[in-house]
């Protein structure tokens, strides 16, 4: 089979496209022929070595396709089923072995491309607003990179719950997309002190929660944007990992709460995945959650997709087509 893999960590140049052995599914797995693979920032962390993996490694943790074969212990899937998944490596490929409990069936009206675009970022936005800090109409949330793949879904899901949303974005064009997704206000954080602007927009009060996927460059400003006892949800490192800091800082900034969540711990069972993915794919199917697929690349051009994502050139989702 064809796949995109790495034999060493580094820039997008280390991505290799070529032949890899066909995966052999175990009794609890399915073998899926991929129709579309999702590109995520986590793929850049795997490639660069920020998140530890064993080499060689086939990149990609999100995909959609058709079941070709199921293991002897799998009773609820059959060859021909249209399925999608997130959080299992090996998706930048023509075929992947996936644990059956992670697979969800794609509704008939939903394309493979949409399913591959929605699973990881959609379930992430879902757990952030429903489980990590359950949003309600009384809350104001600050959402960084609001025009990113995860950001656009997060803004829409926060608005579904009635919260006031202040977004940040790097350019005016991205700010317009965040507003279109429902953000009440958008701050151009490349030009404006977003913490001061957030204070101004909240009459000095600060926000109840910050969903911060940018990391290093926004961390301290995010703490400065919160109400006393507000919740800092640091869920990504697009600008680099947050440096070490003393817990006393949280007291000084207002007895803040800090969490560093990961989708892996919010999609731990078949039931939890069915709930989150069912909501996400259901809302997309009925048209109440809009997906923005910014660009689709042939699988062999995965390196270009990485370059585009890490250079902040994209707004919305990138997918690869094997
Ligand atoms: P995005 O589409 O959001 O792309 C990243 C965006 O971050 C850029 O477009 C850019 O938007 C912004 N950004 C700010 N500073 C930088 C920088 N120095 N370099 C690159 N980008 C920067 O990507 P994803 O939706 O795939 O992921 C967003 C984040 O969410 C990542 O940090 C990812 O790790 C995290 N994540 C975490 C999960 C979890 O469970 N913890 C699961 C899924 C995603 P702008 O130009 O507007 O600033």
DSSP 60-89: -SEEEEEEEEE-TT--S--TT-EEEEES-S
Distance CA(145)–CA(153), nearest Å, equals 11
Average pLDDT over residues 29-56: 96
227, 248 Cβ separation under 8 angstroms = no
The SS3 of residue 27 is coil
Distance CA(29)–CA(98), nearest Å, equals 5
Average pLDDT over residues 119-145: 98
Q: For the domain bounded by 2-120+267-321, which CATH number is listed?
A: 3.90.180.10
CA nearest to 86, candidates 70, 101, 102:
102
CA nearest to 1, candidates 51, 72, 65:
65
- The verdict on the CB of residue 169 being under 6 Å from ligand 1 is yes
Distance CA(190)–CA(74), nearest Å, equals 50
Output the CA angle 259-45-98, nearest 5 degrees: 90
Distance CA(319)–CA(295), nearest Å, equals 7
Q: Name which residue sits closest to atom 8 of ligand 1, judged by CA.
A: 312
Residues whose CB is less than 8 angstroms from the CB of residue 252 and which lie 6 or more positions away in sequence, other chains included? none
* Backbone φ/ψ region at 275: left (φ over 0), alpha (ψ -120 to 50), beta: alpha
pLDDT score for 202? 98
pLDDT score for 189? 98
The SS3 of residue 98 is strand
- How confident is the model over 178-234, as pLDDT tens digits? 999 999 999 999 999 999 999 999 999 999 999 999 999 999 999 999 999 999 999
The structure's pTM equals 0.98
- The verdict on the CB of residue 147 being under 6 Å from ligand 1 is yes
Q: Does domain 136-260 have CATH number 3.40.50.720?
A: yes
- How confident is the model over 286-309, as pLDDT tens digits? 999 999 999 999 999 999 999 999
pLDDT score for 221? 98
Residues whose CB is less than 8 angstroms from the CB of residue 180 and which lie 6 or more positions away in sequence, other chains included? none
> Quick one: pLDDT band at residue 33, thresholds 50, 70, 90?
very high
Distance CA(62)–CA(91), nearest Å, equals 6
Q: Which residue among 50, 183, 194, 213 has the greatest number of ligand 1 atoms within 8 angstroms of its CB, and so is best to mutate?
A: 213
- Beta bridge partners, 140, equal 164
- The verdict on the CB of residue 16 being under 6 Å from ligand 1 is no
7, 59 Cβ separation under 8 angstroms = no
Distances (CA, A) of 219 to 147, 194, 211, 260, 292: 18, 11, 10, 12, 27
Indicate the domain borders of the chain.
2-120+267-321, 136-260
**How much of the chain exceeds pLDDT 90, in percent?**
100
> Quick one: pLDDT band at residue 279, thresholds 50, 70, 90?
very high
Distance CA(126)–CA(209), nearest Å, equals 15
Q: Name which residue sits closest to atom 1 of ligand 1, judged by CA.
A: 148
Average pLDDT over residues 6-16: 98
Determine the angle formed by the axes of helices 149-160 and 112-127, rounding to 10 degrees: 60
Distance CA(268)–CA(272), nearest Å, equals 6
> Quick one: pLDDT band at residue 102, thresholds 50, 70, 90?
very high
Distance CA(67)–CA(96), nearest Å, equals 10
Q: Which residue among 61, 188, 312, 314 has the greatest number of ligand 1 atoms within 8 angstroms of its CB, and so is best to mutate?
A: 312
CA nearest to 245, candidates 224, 219, 268, 271:
219
Mean predicted lDDT score pLDDT of the chain: 98
CA 65 remoteness from chain centre: 19
Q: Name which residue sits closest to atom 15 of ligand 1, judged by CA.
A: 239
């Amino acid at each position: 089979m064809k796949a995109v893999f790495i034999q060493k960590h580094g820039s997008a140049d280390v991505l290799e496209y070529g032949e890899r052995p066909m995966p052999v599914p175990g009794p609890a797995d399915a073998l899926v022929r991929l129709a579309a693979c999702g590109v995520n920032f986590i793929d850049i962390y795997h490639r660069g070595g920020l998140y530890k993996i064993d080499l060689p490694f086939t990149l990609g943790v999100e995909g959609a396709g058709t079941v070709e074969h199921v293991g002897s212990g799998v009773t609820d899937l059959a060859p021909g089923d249209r399925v999608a998944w997130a959080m299992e490596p090996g998706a930048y490929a023509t075929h992947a072995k996936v644990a059956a409990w992670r697979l969800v069936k794609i509704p008939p009206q939903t394309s493979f491309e949409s399913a591959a675009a929605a699973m990881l970022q959609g379930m992430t936005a879902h757990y952030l607003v429903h489980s990590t800090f359950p949003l309600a109409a009384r809350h104001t949330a600050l959402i960084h990179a609001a025009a990113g793949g995860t950001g656009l879904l997060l803004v829409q899901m926060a608005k579904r719950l009635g919260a006031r949303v202040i977004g940040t974005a790097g350019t005016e064009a991205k700010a317009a997309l965040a507003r279109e997704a429902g953000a009440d206000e958008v701050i151009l954080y490349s030009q404006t002190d977003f913490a001061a602007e957030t204070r101004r927009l909240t009459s000095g009060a600060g926000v109840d929660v910050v969903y911060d996927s940018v990391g290093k460059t926004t961390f301290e400003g995010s703490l400065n944007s919160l109400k006393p006892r507000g919740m800092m949800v640091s869920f990504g490192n697009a600008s680099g990992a947050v440096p070490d800091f003393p817990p006393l800082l949280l007291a000084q900034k207002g007895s803040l709460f800090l969490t560093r969540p990961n989708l892996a711990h919010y999609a731990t069972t078949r039931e939890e995945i069915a709930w989150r993915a069912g909501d996400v794919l259901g809302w997309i199917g009925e048209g109440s959650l809009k997906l923005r697929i910014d660009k689709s690349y042939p699988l062999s051009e995965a390196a270009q997709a990485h370059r585009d994502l890490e250079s902040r050139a994209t707004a919305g989702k990138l997918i690869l087509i094997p």
